[in-house]
Amino acid sequence: MIDVKLRSVSKRFSRGGDAAAVDDVSLTIAAGEFFTLLGPSGCGKTTTLRMVAGFAFPTAGQIHFGDQDVTRLAPNKRDAGMVFQNYALFPHMTVAQNVAYGLKVRKIGRAASAERIEQALAQVHLAGYGTRRIDQLSGGQQQRVALARALVIRPRILLLDEPLSNLDAKLREETRSEIRRIQREAGTTALYVTHDQAEAMAMSDRIAVMYGGKVQQVGTPHEVYHRPANAFVARFIGRSNVLELPVAEASADGLELRLPSGARIGIGAPEGHGLKSGDTALVSARPEQVRLAGPTADGALPGKVTGIEFTGMATNLTVDVAGDELMVSVVDAPDGIKIDDQVGLLLAPHRLWVVKP
């Protein structure tokens, strides 16, 4: 088990070109950790992964596997097992031959090789599939062959590039816990790339949220959800109402904000928030943490329902509060609620979080 460090890694594709695809990214992935790069397409997450794999070299910065500087090391010298988005299984080889490829390159003896292949296939629940051709496998099975092929070489780090994106929704949920189990059993450090925040939340020890080539926030799923560093993270992870509220009073770790109704609300804020009285604070409020009340309830923001969407699990409402559309998600919506109803919205102070713009 090794840790992986990225130090101020940048990548520009065109010489002296405009924007960097990856801009000054520094990350430490702890040994044995399941670490996820999460962000919308074009955010630089895949480029970062490819630099760790050695398919692209950083324009600046270093990458370390443990104590070894691998920044400009050829991909075949890295011992980094990768699962590709499209699996990249060799179509002219059987399942066993695919898994054997990395062992053959490493000149592992026939007997030891056969044992490791069998073990790897058993680990992904494909024992007995060795002689199958790739096109005889389902998408989920192909995905598991790719995983076995990457793990059988006992990589120093396992790289996964959106490995679930080609599976259907139900299989995707099954497979993600499966990948997590196998990674834990193998005890391998894993770097996972996805644009799917639910996937990232469910699987990761820690997540780095990326946007515009930069890391926006690194944290546990709980941290990035409940304490988003900025408005982008708040909106990208789950859904969030980002409110602009004037600051009435500021202290080192707390703020008093003035609601449109005139009432004041006291909330916690991260240290070094830098806001002072009279500033406008950006406050993130998750839809499921906004409570629905009568239009005249104490301390409630009065508003008018403009949209209703029943999803089974919850009812998602959009409520117009003094010209701003707020999202509200309630598990037990009052029967008969309909468009144009007047309602009040209650904000829970301990679930409001000040974010940077």
Residues that bind other proteins (CB under 8 A): 53-57, 72-82, 84-86, 88-92, 101-102, 105-106, 149-150, 153, 159
Min CB(112)–other proteins separation in Å: 16
Min CB(106)–other proteins separation in Å: 6
Write the CA distances from 135 to 84, 138, 139, 305, integer angstroms. Answer: 17, 8, 9, 52
**Cα–Cα distance measured from residue 143 to residue 340, given in angstroms and rounded to the nearest whole number:** 49
Is 187 exposed, middle or buried, given 0-12, 13-18 or 19+ CB atoms closer than 10 A? exposed
Question: CB-wise, 54 or 287, nearer to other proteins?
Answer: 54
- Please, what is the Cα angle at 69 between 63 and 74, to 5 degrees? 85
- Please, what is the Cα angle at 40 between 39 and 42, to 5 degrees? 105
Min CB(51)–other proteins separation in Å: 10
Question: CB-wise, 91 or 312, nearer to other proteins?
Answer: 91
Question: CB-wise, 103 or 126, nearer to other proteins?
Answer: 103
Min CB(105)–other proteins separation in Å: 4
Min CB(9)–other proteins separation in Å: 15
Give me the DSSP letters along 100-167: HHHHHHTT--HHHHHHHHHHHHHHTT-TT-TT-BGGGS-HHHHHHHHHHHHHTT--SEEEEESTTTTS
Min CB(36)–other proteins separation in Å: 19
**Cα–Cα distance measured from residue 162 to residue 21, given in angstroms and rounded to the nearest whole number:** 18
Question: CB-wise, 58 or 303, nearer to other proteins?
Answer: 58
Question: CB-wise, 59 or 220, nearer to other proteins?
Answer: 59
Give the pairing of strands 34-38 and 206-211.
parallel
Question: CB-wise, 116 or 227, nearer to other proteins?
Answer: 116
Q: How many residues would you count in the chain? A: 357
